[in-house]
Structure 1
Amino acid sequence: MIARVALGDRSAFDALYDATSPKLHAVCLAVLKDRPEAEETLQDVYIKIWQNASRYASNGLSPMTWLITIARNRSIDKLRARKSRPTSDTADIAATVASSEPGPESAAIRAQERRLLDECLALLADQQAGAVRAVYLEGATYADLAEREGKPINTVRSWLRRSLLRLKDCVSQ
């Protein structure tokens, strides 16, 4: 694909972008620790790839190694430029740190999945639903559950297996 990009083939460039952008974005994000800046840097990386594809020489290195090197070097350049800028106060620093909180879309999806799981658990008998909650949501072991319920461990395993199959059917509907 890089050889075709060197000839100005836009469809090859699109295919190259589709195949490599997640990995190169991860490289930029790992160096910069700032999603917007990593996305901007990734754009610069692909401009550089478009302009310099003819310079790629297959000298034993994989094409992906060449692309990762471009992304890494461009990210390091951005990082150095960022560090050379004076910061006015800690509020500016806090604004550049990426949030670890889930975004609104993923939070909504997670809430919907939780609601669906709760509805499906409600369809199970109380004892089986409690067993599923204890083992898979609270971290109890099969042995703990068997002791708590006063049942043989194989009975508890059977409950859980049947319960999980019923949950799978419910969730897939």
Structure 2
Amino acid sequence: MKMTNKEDTANTDIGPDTTLLLVDDDAPFLRRLARAMETRGFTVDTSESVTEGLAKVKNQPPAYAVVDLRLEDGNGLDVVSALHERRPDAKVVVLTGYGNIATAVTAVKLGAIDYLSKPADADDVFNALLNTSNGKAPPPENPMSADRVRWEHIQRVYEACDRNVSETARRLNMHRRTLQRILAKRAPR
């Protein structure tokens, strides 16, 4: 992960409330991102679990948040939803190493403003939080494979069923254990 020091961007567009909550169970990544965001003018608080993140949102909802999707004790979307309920104006970016369209759509519906795949550098996170990117992202060089399209469809149905494996398997006419194995794997390329 590339962390650059951008003193010229520090505190320029953040606004009066500079509170930022980072929720990620990868401790080294969390420390590096926290340091990088502090140099850009944020007042950073960190959490390594959904439970801890929810407690911090309940006690003092931040103006900004960067939340990992998959955490050891649950789904980061629960933190996004709780923050949006407590503070609808909060800007949330979801980070994940397991990017897919269905969870991106769900994250946006729950109040996230952007969805970034890991590894994302501090500039990408900063730009997403402040929405300072210049135009649209370039189109992908390689389109999705048939396996990836299938995986995306499964993820979309899974999210539509509120992450209920049995109901998703029934709707897809698939054995529940087969679906569990598919969901446990990383997305195909």
**Which has the larger strand fraction?**
2
Q: With structure 2 as the length reference, what TM-score do the two structures score?
A: 0.26
Question: Larger radius of gyration, structure 1 or 2?
Answer: 1
**Which has the larger helix fraction?**
1
